[in-house]
Amino acid sequence: MFWRKKHNPQAAAGQRTDKLSSSESEHQNMTNPPTRDPSAPTAKFAIGSGGRGAVSEIDDFMAGLKRRNPHEQEFHQAVFEFVETVMPFYLDNHRYRDARLLERMTEPDRVIMFRVVWEDDNGIPHANKGYRVQFNSALGPYKGGLRFNPSVTLSILKFLGFEQTFKNSLTRLPMGGGKGGSNFNPKGRSDLEIMRFCHSMMSELYRHIGEVVDVPAGDIGVGGREIGYLFGKYKQLANRYTGVLTGKGLAFGGSEIRKEATGYGAVVFAEDMLQHHNKTIKDKTVVVSGAGNVALYALERAMQLGAKVVAVSDSRGFAHVKDGFNEDSFRILQNVKEVRRESLSVFANKAHGVTYHAGKSPWAVPCQVGLPCATQNEIDESMADTMCRNGLEVLAEGANMPLTAEAIHVLKHNNVLFGPAKAANAGGVGVSGLEQAQNAMRLVWTRDQVEKELERIMRSIHTQCVEYAPVVNGVADYQTGANVASFVRVGEAMLAHGYI
């Protein structure tokens, strides 16, 4: 397990114990008025400080969360990584603690699950699971992507919806947090099969979304093609032409640079972290994982800022470009991944100076800047240690939770600048919010307008993180800064709304 285990003599002896944790007892009695002795000292918490009382608070909280949400490892991990940094602030601010905000924030507003039946090209019917987790609407309509991938489970979508709530808050746009998707695998399916699936999914999903209720977008397995099919079916069923989805094509209400926004934003955030510590990304060696929109445009933006990008990966292996990407090799990569939808082995055969490593991780390649843009938990403790020994200086999470909790601790221990996902990859949802604004005003902004707004949003997020980030060995703790800043923004809204 990735959090501390408390010793339980009864459990160790094989005896059953049904005693509830203090956090769970509080959760089960949330209708009781909270009471607190004003003269009681406030517990303090700092990781590694040896403060047993506060460590116990986290252990109790996680025990209650696990009991209420069994077998949801990804969700447990996301909550733990948030709670372990927010807890000292939470314990020091009685308004938040007395309102039991952490307990309330870790319960989604609602979870919608449904069957999606579709027909393949051979006339054979298939059934998949469809989900929408509407996590928190304290700041605005639910906002978050749809993911089509065989790995999709309720646990993954709850972790993503939880993270999305706080990520969206940092943009300072009026957006709540949600996430959805299906265990449908679009790989290897024809356009007609994907269209049938999207239309079938929207035939149920449309009942639960709307431009002032819940505004989905794309994610892994859901790109412009899928958004087009989903939007078309919504328009037919609802008989309304409205901005109910973002990531749309420019021909029907989309925004400039939406495709590039997450990758561009991650690099802007990485550069801001470096500049805040009197460094620059120019001439630094960069490794990018993933080969979707986030990775491709993080790679492009890093090149534009003068960095040397030497590796990129996909689910089958990675391509090593020893002398760094240039304009020609990037265009070949774009064609292979965005048009032909083929493996990086094809890219390696077409571009000069590229070697392909099947089944390998790119993170053994030495780099000063790491941009993980693939999927969750791709970097573990051992890999993080290797990266630090190879000279890693800064890492910005382009994907959601690509590092394990232990890996994050390794980076912090080695004084690596660490940009957590809720801050570093908020550019995508930031531009989604700008797309919503353009749709609502019936306006279309230019590429320059949107790009300037994106940079403003990312720099504002950096400023918010620095405001709350403790400094250790001269390095700002961006993880704590992002978590506390977003907690305060969501928490203040929830306090204002009362006990709902």
Catalytic residue IDs: 179
**DSSP per-residue codes, 57-126:** HHHHHHHHHHHHSTT-HHHHHHHHHHHHHHHHHHHH-HHHHHTTHHHHHTS-SEEEEEEEEEE-TTS-EE
DSSP state of 210: B
Any idea what the Cα angle at residue 479 is, between residues 391 and 371, rounded to 5°?
Answer: 45
Which pair of structure tokens corresponds to residue 149? 């991938």
Closest CA to 221 of 230, 209, 213: 230
Which pair of structure tokens corresponds to residue 47? 């990781």
| Gap between the Cα atoms of 221 and 275, Å rounded | 34
C-beta of residue 94 within 8 angstroms of C-beta of residue 100: no
Sign of CA dihedral 373, 374, 377, 382: negative
List Cβ neighbours of 434 (8 Å cut-off, separation of 6 or more).
Answer: 173, 255, 445, 450, 453, 454
How long a stretch of residues is the chain?
500
CA atoms within 13 A on the CB side of 25: 8
Closest CA to 479 of 415, 402, 421, 394: 421
Cβ count near 430 (within 10 Å): 29
